[in-house]
Amino acid sequence: MTGRQRVSGAVNMAGSRSSVRTWNFMASHQERLVVCLLFYLRLTLVHSQRGSYVLDDQKGLGRQFDGIGGLSGGGATSRLLVNYPEPYRGQILDYLFKPNFGASLDILKVEIGGDAQTTDGTEPSHKHTEEDENYFRGYEWWLMKEAKKRNPKIKLIGLPWAFPGWVGRGKNWPYTFPDVTAYYVVSWIIGAKQYHDLDIDYIGIWNERSFDIKYIKLLRYTLDKQGLERVKIIASDNLWQPITFSVLHDAELQDAVSVIGVHYPGTYTVEDAIKTNKTLWSSEDYSTFNDNVGGGCWARILNQNYVNGLMTSTISWNLVASYYEDLPFGRDGLMTAQEPWSGNYVVESPIWITAHTTQFTEPGWFYLQTVGHLQSGGSYVALTDGLGNLTVIIETMTRNHSVCIRPPLPAYNVSAQTATFSLKGSFTNLTELQVWHSRFDFKTNNPVFFEQLTPIKLSEGTFTINLQEDEVYTLTTLQTGLKGNHSKPPDSQPFPKKYMDDFKVRNPQFSEAPYFADQTGVFEYFINTSDPGDHVFTLRQVLIQRPVTWVADADQTISVIGDYKWQNITVSSDVYMEAVNKGGVFIAGRVTKGGGEVRNAKGVFFWVFPNGTYKVSNDIQGHIVLAVGKSGTRAGIWHTLSLQIKGYEASGFLNGYPLWKNLRILGPKNGWAAIGTEKFEKAQFDNFYLGAD
């Protein structure tokens, strides 16, 4: 009798003692079956989480790798960086640009300053007017030189967000006279070489705005005519369409454009883009708060922009979060440097995630065709220099730990897995790979970034690696990787509670005064040769015409400064109105908005006008009027304005005497201090003071 028969027979023997014993035997046997089944299922599950992958160059290579980059501008995102004292400023630059130290960036993209608000401030143009020409304004020239000093191979890109008003010839549009716009942009490229010995490698069209086919062709013609054939055009720094359709159907445009650059593609391309056979870039991406979820976002898109979209370069907006954090998109940079007054900076996780790629590749390497997604979630890419070197980057970022600011990220799953890679072709005989590892560790918040592990030994061209969730690995033949380290920077400190600036700088390194963040207009150091007295060195608002804007700039000019959290403050400045019988100037406190929202800023604004009047308003537009009266102020002479705000009351002083006192204000509760003008007009400021209780 078989065992099955015995069990089967026992089932029919109800009621006897032996029946009970048989049932116990049966239950025990069933438990054994369940255990065996569970063990089998576990083996099956484990087997399903094992993936095998081939890295092979026998059938040719994929696309050429063009590098990883950072974007300074769009706008004024490096504004506070220049005000850092040494050695901290140099240390920050090392983490960004120094090869085999930190991010080791391959590309630096900068804004071509256009005198207009372009996200977090305005950047000055090299030509405020058609007759004007100054290639030392702003800080992008300096930044490009510092990048080149650390990495002579770094590629440079220029892109306009806005244009000075004269380019539009009275219209808020740069394409009405495309020859003028082309001349303006090419003059920037020529100036970069003539005055700073900088070779610009790529030039863009108009950031995230319409492109004009006639203009692109004319720009190419103008570049070639000036002997700048090597400068390549990127178009159109916006969406995939309609630029790819236009390139496909216009042979002359196809010849003019070298790179199709798209912003925030979500790692995917479109069929038309591939059909163009053009180089494809994510020419602006990331734009995400730089905590560890932001680092996870960066890790995912650096791999998957190529795996999913064949994009051979990814550029982060922004390079370094070096602007007041309460401006739009605070801390959306690869690292944070927003306290020049203290020297504090933070090397955030995106720096080390970048290093996983940049320290073990170079522009000019090629992706393998054998790249893709891991079986249980995540992705891998492999690159080679064609000389026997191989670098493999693996990421297993889970969905909730790698969400970028845009576009929306669909749901997907990642789980722990074992991956076996088989090396074929020219890599068959490799016996060892260096290993670098990052673990985000969201459960215990004890992450490890860019840690070198024991090299992995290959057996017959094969290696196996156990992968957990939210990890990044680099496996490479290169032995040059290094986690650079400077001494700990100073502790974080708030903005000084008492700050003064008399602007007495005869040969300033930068055109802007420290800590002032222009939000509309351009405020520059100025030598007032017509004043033999105490106001030879001043800060001057220089724009007299509204720029061709990128966002809705205010109709007034304004530069903010200080600690956004401050409530009770005193602001004082000497002011000088240059325009007669029009316009006016202000000092302000508790200013609430900058960036693209600056025209809606609230605060306490103390205005004086050259017609002998004053006004106090609750908004920058001067519509919410709190008080008006006679002041006796006029153009062409210096006046001293002081504003005191405490609790729900404010008082204003002119030349040391109270002009209005204890004015009741209902808000806002806090914000920056500011200076500015009523219109785009020239005016000067001197002996600025800011104090907080």
Tell me which residues are annotated as active site: 208, 284
The two three-digit tokens of residue 183, written as one number: 């001349």
Label the pairing between strands 379-384 and 625-630: unpaired
- The single residue listed with the structure tokens 């969905």 is 399
Backbone angles phi, psi at 17, to 5 degrees: -60, -40
Strand partners, 241: none
C-alpha 416/C-alpha 466 separation (Å) is 8
C-alpha 129/C-alpha 339 separation (Å) is 33
- CB neighbours of residue 103 within 10 Å: 29
For 127, the 3-state DSSP assignment is coil
H/E segment holding residue 376: none
C-alpha 49/C-alpha 465 separation (Å) is 12
Contacts of 44 (CB under 8 A, 6+ apart): none
For 399, the 3-state DSSP assignment is helix
Label the pairing between strands 202-203 and 67-72: unpaired
C-beta separation of 332 from 72 below 8 A: no
C-alpha 186/C-alpha 126 separation (Å) is 12
The two three-digit tokens of residue 407, written as one number: 């576009």
Label the pairing between strands 498-501 and 471-476: unpaired
User: In residues, how long is the chain?
Assistant: 693
Rounded (10°) angle between helices 3-11 and 17-48: 130
CA nearest neighbour of 310 among 358, 246, 351, 259: 259
Strand partners, 689: 500, 572
First to last CA, the chain: 97
CA nearest neighbour of 159 among 86, 82, 263: 263
Contacts of 15 (CB under 8 A, 6+ apart): none
CA nearest neighbour of 70 among 143, 178, 173: 143
Contacts of 387 (CB under 8 A, 6+ apart): none
Label the pairing between strands 672-677 and 585-591: antiparallel
C-alpha 62/C-alpha 370 separation (Å) is 8
Calculate Rg over the CA atoms of the chain: 31
